[in-house]
């Protein structure tokens, strides 16, 4: 059985960092392989995980459309095949598997850029089936989403066990997180449990006005990740955050949250 954990949040709140720590926790404590899906076109989950990224699903999608145009001129695309006799599904399956970046106990697929002006309905349908089929081979799937979660809606039909909405410790951040959490009701997938994570808190406790605002939300607060200078130093140096030690306050905070829900 595959457990899917999805993260969302507006840009700059640290959801990619949290995603990396979730993956690190799963590596340390859980059995089975992990698939990381970077579904934020502006994200850089590969850098957090210390992996090189040659190409993305967005690149594959655009290449396929070029192949279809070429095959159409040769009379093949209309019959559902490309040059050489391969179907579009076979082409996508091969290309997506080739694009996987492999790490220790985890693999990474990056969705990459969003669609251009062409017609992508059939391509997206095939991609959804390819990635869903691939995901079944993993015990855990961790998805780092864009704020609106459009990629999550278009790229999977699988249930999501846990949606973690990440916010910075500000009133504006909480309002944005609440709006993002509201998108889950518009998706064509089943999200079983949704939680809020407060990231980058510099004080010992949550300020009272912020606490009161959080209590008004329709999703519970899962936990708080403290501001940590060591994390800043990792960012400056370009060192992969997945190399943070288990004694790190950031790692420990995320680990405590994962223990609650898994």
- Measured between alpha carbons, how far apart are the two ends of the chain, in Å? 13
pTM of the predicted structure, to 2 decimals: 0.90
pLDDT of residue 239: 92
Is the separation of the CB atoms in 213 and 174 below 8 Å? yes
Q: In this structure, what DSSP letter does residue 246 have?
A: T
Cβ-based neighbours of 247, under 8 Å, separated by 6 or more: none
> Residues 70, 73, 74, 80: is their CA dihedral positive or negative?
positive
Cβ-based neighbours of 85, under 8 Å, separated by 6 or more: none
Residue-wise pLDDT for 161-188, tens only, equals: 999 999 999 999 999 999 999 988 888 7
pLDDT of residue 102: 94
CB neighbour class for 213 (10 Å; exposed up to 12, middle 13-18, buried from 19):
middle
Residue-wise pLDDT for 71-129, tens only, equals: 665 555 544 566 667 788 888 899 999 999 999 899 999 988 666 555 556 677 778 88
pLDDT of residue 61: 83
What's the mean per-residue pLDDT of the chain? 87
Of 37, 31, 16, 9, the C-alpha closest to 262 is 31
Record the tokens describing residue 96, joined without a space: 């997506």
Domains assigned to the chain: 3-51+105-113+137-261 (3.40.50.300)
- DSSP SS3 for 191: strand
pLDDT of residue 79: 46
* CA distance readout (Å), 181 to 28, 123, 167, 237: 29, 28, 11, 33
Record the tokens describing residue 26, joined without a space: 């799963």
pLDDT of residue 80: 55
Strand blocks (E) in 113-190: 140-145, 160-167
What is the rounded CA–CA span in Å between residue 73 and residue 226? 58
What is the rounded CA–CA span in Å between residue 163 and residue 143? 9
Of 210, 222, 209, the C-alpha closest to 5 is 222
Q: Which residue has the tokens 């159409």?
A: 72
Q: Which residue has the tokens 């993993």?
A: 138
């Amino acid at each position: 059985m595959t457990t899917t954990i999805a993260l969302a949040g507006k840009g700059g709140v640290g959801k990619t960092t949290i995603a990396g720590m979730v993956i690190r926790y799963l590596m340390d404590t859980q059995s089975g392989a992990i698939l990381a899906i970077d579904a934020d076109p502006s994200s850089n989950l590969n850098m957090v995980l210390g992996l090189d990224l040659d190409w993305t699903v967005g690149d594959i999608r655009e290449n396929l459309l070029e192949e279809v145009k070429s095959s159409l001129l040769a009379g093949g695309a209309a019959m559902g095949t490309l040059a050489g006799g391969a179907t579009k599904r076979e082409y996508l399956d091969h290309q997506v598997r080739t694009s996987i970046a492999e790490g220790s106990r985890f693999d990474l697929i990056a969705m990459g850029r969003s669609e251009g002006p062409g017609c992508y309905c059939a391509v997206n349908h095939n991609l959804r089936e390819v990635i869903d089929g691939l995901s079944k081979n993993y015990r855990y799937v961790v998805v780092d989403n864009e704020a609106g979660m459009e990629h999550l809606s278009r790229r999977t039909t699988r249930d999501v066990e846990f949606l973690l909405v990440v916010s910075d410790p500000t009133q504006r951040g909480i309002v944005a997180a609440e709006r993002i959490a509201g998108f889950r009701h518009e998706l064509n997938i089943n999200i079983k449990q949704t939680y809020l994570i407060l990231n980058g808190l510099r004080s010992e406790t949550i300020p009272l006005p912020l606490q009161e605002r959080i209590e008004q939300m329709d999703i519970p607060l899962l936990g708080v990740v403290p501001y940590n200078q060591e994390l800043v130093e990792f960012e400056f140096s370009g060192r992969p955050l997945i190399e943070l030690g288990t004694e790190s306050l950031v790692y420990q905070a995320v680990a405590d949250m994962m223990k609650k829900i898994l």
